[in-house]
Chain A
């Protein structure tokens, strides 16, 4: 039951993402407008070694795990 519920959520996410990929969406933030997002102070995971360490400290001291990292640092800024 639990796994089926998770599978449904995953499937829905994939379908929505897949359908979105088929439509043409104009980027509303142009590449030349991303200078602020390219500033190091805006990086979601500026220091992966440090953040990986502190997340495992949290996971060692708490019963929860996952969901706090970044999905990928790509922001098209470089």
Chain B
């Protein structure tokens, strides 16, 4: 649980590189102060995220982000094979964009630290507007360098490296329709499994019928994702957005993700409702229970590597204030969003129920995700 979250958070930082890139025009000067909270499956994670972005002259924009996760975990993995824990992750990011003509060059650095995991990520990207600014092409690259430790073993150090390659095209199709295509390849090499998590295997000598041993993942992973999205302006000033993503990797996970969102403004408010669906196959080395100890070369029982189906319902509202400016501020918004996440794991059993081996129910996760944030443009 812990390690995979850290790796994913580092990946998220790494993937964030492409999202701030705007060719032909620098990003708006703005600041965001966000509080986030995730509650579900025995895990509670909350903390702030603060982003400040400011242009310097007409060609350069710099930004800084401070992000904290305060984790309190008694997840299904933790309560069945370990002890509940708390920890804190702190992340700093610095980025700069340089605009020249219709080209924006960006670079950034992100550092994430916690008690048993460090991650450093360096990223570069270039975005070019073309065809009368109807098309934006973005190329991006990032390199991540992680160190994995164990809180109970001061001599335990393992390294990971990660490289990310991205190509994206944003395309205006009509005066009411904009679309985007993203192609992303991520390669990992190093210690990719969780140093704490265990797999279970059949053990006739144990009264409950099974025992646990450390998981062992392959040392490499390459994943490919292709995503398309389109947003349409409806005749009565509202927007409809559809999105699809295909995912495949060398661990034999294949996923399909689709979503649809509707945005409706009313007076100074903007309301958005969204439904998202995700379905995936499992990793080739995932088993809910192995036939014996060290039954296969690679072994994992991370529920996120199980075949699963997840659904998310989202509702958000934004209220704009100081619409005509106030002092040095151009405008501000206060925003609230709520996501309800439901995950059905198709091969991961809930062994916390104490049911007899073979009759355990499949695990199901419900999680609530809240975000409250204030944004200022200046």
- Please give the residue numbers on chain A whose beta carbons come within 8 Å of chain B beta carbons, in ascending order: 2-3, 6, 9-10, 13-14, 17, 20-21, 25-31, 33-34, 36-37, 39-42, 44-45, 47-76, 78
Contact = CB atoms under 8 A, between A and B. Distances in A.
Interface stretch (B7-15, B76-84, B196-204): B7-15
A68 B245 contact: yes
Contacts of B310: 61-62
A27 B136 CA distance: 13
6 contacts: A6-B224, A66-B186, A70-B168, A71-B169, A72-B18, A74-B136
A71 B280 contact: no
A10 B365 contact: no
A70 B15 contact: no
B19 A50 contact: no
A67 B170 contact: no
A64 B257 contact: yes
B15 A47 contact: no
B305 A63 contact: yes
B133 A64 contact: no
B371 A53 contact: yes
Interface stretch (B114-122, B124-132, B209-217, B350-358): B124-132
Contacts of A44: 170, 178, 180, 229, 231
Given A74-B25, A75-B172, A61 B136 contact: no
B62 interface: no
Contacts of B253: 63-64
Contact of A60 (B5, B308, B335): B5
Interface of B: 4-5, 8-9, 11-12, 15-16, 18-25, 27, 32, 34, 36, 38, 49, 51, 65, 104, 127, 129-134, 136-138, 164-170, 172, 174-176, 178, 180-186, 222-227, 229, 231, 233, 237-239, 243, 245-247, 249-251, 253, 255, 257, 263, 265, 270, 276, 278, 280, 282-283, 304-305, 308, 310, 312, 335, 337, 339, 341, 343, 365, 367, 369, 371, 373, 375
Given A36-B233, A41-B265, A70-B168, A76 B129 contact: yes
Given A61-B304, A66-B186, A75 B365 contact: no
B167 A75 contact: no
A78 B9 contact: no
Contacts of A51: 19
Contact of A74 (B133, B185, B238, B255): B133
> What 8 pairs across the A-B complex have the smallest Cβ distances?
A71-B168, A76-B133, A27-B132, A67-B225, A56-B12, A67-B227, A74-B136, A66-B184
